[in-house]
Amino acid sequence: MRLKLLRTAQRLVQAVKPDFDQPDWRPILQPSADEWRRARDAAHGGPRVLIATAVGGHLPSTTLESLLAVALTLRGAEVQVLLCDEQLPACLRSHVTGVSSDEAFVDEGPQASGCIRCYSSGAPMYRTLGLELRTLGALLTDDERTTALGLAADITAEAIPSFTLNGLAIGEHALAGALRFYARGTLSGGASEAVLRRYLHAGLLTAYATRRLVAEERFEAACFNHGIYIPHGVIGEVARDTGVRVVNWNPAYRSRSFIFSHGDTYHHTLMDEPTTVWENLPWSAERDAELMAYLRSRWQGSQDWITFNANPEERTSAIEQELGIDLSKPTIGLLTNVIWDAQLHYRANAFPTMMDWLVRTIAYFKDRPELQLLIRVHPAELTGAVPSRQPVVDEIRAAFPTLPANVYVIPPDSAISTYVTMMRCNAVVIYGTKTGVELTCEGVPVIVCGEAWIRNKGLTADAGSPEEYYALLGQLPGPGRLPPATVSRARRYAYHFFFRRMIPMASIAPSTGIAARQVKYQIAINRLEQLRPGHDAGLDIICDGILRGTPFIYPANTPA
């Protein structure tokens, strides 16, 4: 009883404690209060747009989406905001490292830790905008709460990943949420089944509430981060099913830029993007130089705000000494993804999972002693936003207690440059990494086994089955670098990917100081006028895409 009272007191303190992490719109809106009120009034009856932030304490979302809410209103859209008001039994802010144990999370849920801080942080910020704020709690009925709880408890664990509700893939997103909670590629033992059920329960509640909201309001579009996990994956399922256009976004690699996509997360849509949007891109020596200068900057990450290896070791002699490898011998590179990330973002192709592909590849090279296999484990296992709790090195060690003599592993904490080592390879095999885009620009042959964005672009050798993969490996070592025509095509795609799909925004700037630990960017305006059309070319393209469905492509000749 005393423990419950203590937790209640802690929650009350959190509820009244001001949150200075959220963007403060008051200094921007107050000097233009009349202008902002007129803009809101004029937007009534305009195209309805749902900013489905949902998780109010997710600062990357609230920062950008509050800016979009204001900018869209200034363009005549009637904007509503959706937040969770401590209703969900699990969400993307839940993580095993943020609770005392997964068993405690099963017993108490996020309501015992992050919920009050999350809602009490996001809701007041959005209320300062004066836009209509909708909450999951107000949209749910008692019958729906009872039904969701019963379904989540009664379905067999084995059936959860494939569970659908009226055609909505709720189970798939529940599994994605649980894997992210554990930062693992598989769920095994302990309280993992109960955690998975929590995510299924949360997905059902999200589906019921979102369906009621879109039925009431008939939105033209719904905009929200990523499009995977709970709750956003389910919000996307409902929106698509009811004819609401979906817009997903994510911070891009280049500083001050974002990737937006229609219909689904960009991890999926970039794979299906028609090649016609980039393969005839006008080319020049100046554009080529611009691209290659940027790609070389990525070796140190000097022009990016998403980097994983800030001070790489680029000296070949030091690399060879650390690994005990002779890079003058025929070497095949292999780039991994973070295990749990690969399970969620990249659909299986030649192999069911990344680890299955990796283990089979090592086994293959054991019988090819004339070749060296150099495996670079992704540094994001340690430095990503959600560090992995299923290290690739441990999985390799479990499968191969004694590593074949011709197989070398660069662990995630190594400072060795991924780019330098892969450039020294005869060819590189990948599962889902975007590094394939960069390597083909340098003429390095790439074999793709998962759903990497470089697949199906006429640039790589794409394996659709284990048999095709082994046939491609059988042709190694290859004759050398890619032909000039292929390299030229690769550079057009890379330019499209890094300079056109990654949309720069003048109204956003990198965060500084302590704030940068929580979110990489902040609002960089001081007057409402700066969000009107004509002031930020990237913002104009984004808002047009949300309102009219136009492509999220930054024209190559548009000034930043």
Summarised one tens digit per residue, pLDDT across range 515-541 is 666 788 999 999 999 999 999 999 999
268, part of any domain? no
- CATH label of the domain that carries residue 404: 3.40.50.2000
Q: Is residue 509 part of a domain?
A: yes
Q: What is the pLDDT of residue 549?
A: 97
Count Cα atoms within 13 angstroms, Cβ side, for 47.
19
Buried b (16+ CB within 10 A) or exposed e, 514-533: ebeeebbbbbebeebebbbe
Residue 284: how many CB atoms within 10 A of its CB? 8
- Mean pLDDT: which of 184-193, 343-352, 488-497, 549-558 is highest? 488-497
Total domains, the chain: 2
In tens, the pLDDT along 36-80 reads 999 999 999 999 999 999 999 999 999 999 999 999 999 999 999
Residues 227 and 282 grouped into a single domain = no
State residue 97's pLDDT score: 85
My answer on whether 456 and 339 are in the same domain is: yes
Tell whether 404 and 531 lie within a shared domain.
Answer: no
Average pLDDT, the chain: 90
> Do 345 and 280 belong together in one domain?
yes
The reply to whether 11 falls in a domain is yes
Q: Is the same domain home to 459 and 540? A: no
203, 302: one domain: no
Identify the bridge partners of residue 333 per DSSP, sorted by sequence position: 374, 428
Query: In which domain, by residue range, is 496 found?
Result: 275-501
- Mean pLDDT, residues 551-556 taken together: 91
Give the pLDDT score at 345: 53
pLDDT at 560: 42
pLDDT digits (tens, 9 = 90+) for 271-309: 889 999 999 999 999 999 999 999 999 988 888 887 766
- Could you tell me the pTM of the whole model? 0.91
Give the residue-averaged pLDDT of 438-460. Answer: 93
Contact 335, 376 (CB under 8 A): yes
Is 470 part of any domain?
A: yes
- Locus of tokens 């209060």: 33
Residue 393 shares a structural domain with residue 534: no
What's the pLDDT tens digit per position in 198-244?
A: 999 999 999 999 999 999 999 999 999 988 899 999 999 999 999 99
Q: Tokens 């830790």 map to which residue? A: 113
Sequence-distant (≥ 6) Cβ neighbours of residue 188 within 8 angstroms: none
Q: What pLDDT score does 6 carry?
A: 39
Name the pLDDT band for 347 (thresholds 50, 70, 90). Answer: low
Residue-wise pLDDT tens digits, 333-344: 999 988 776 455
Which residue type sits at 114? G
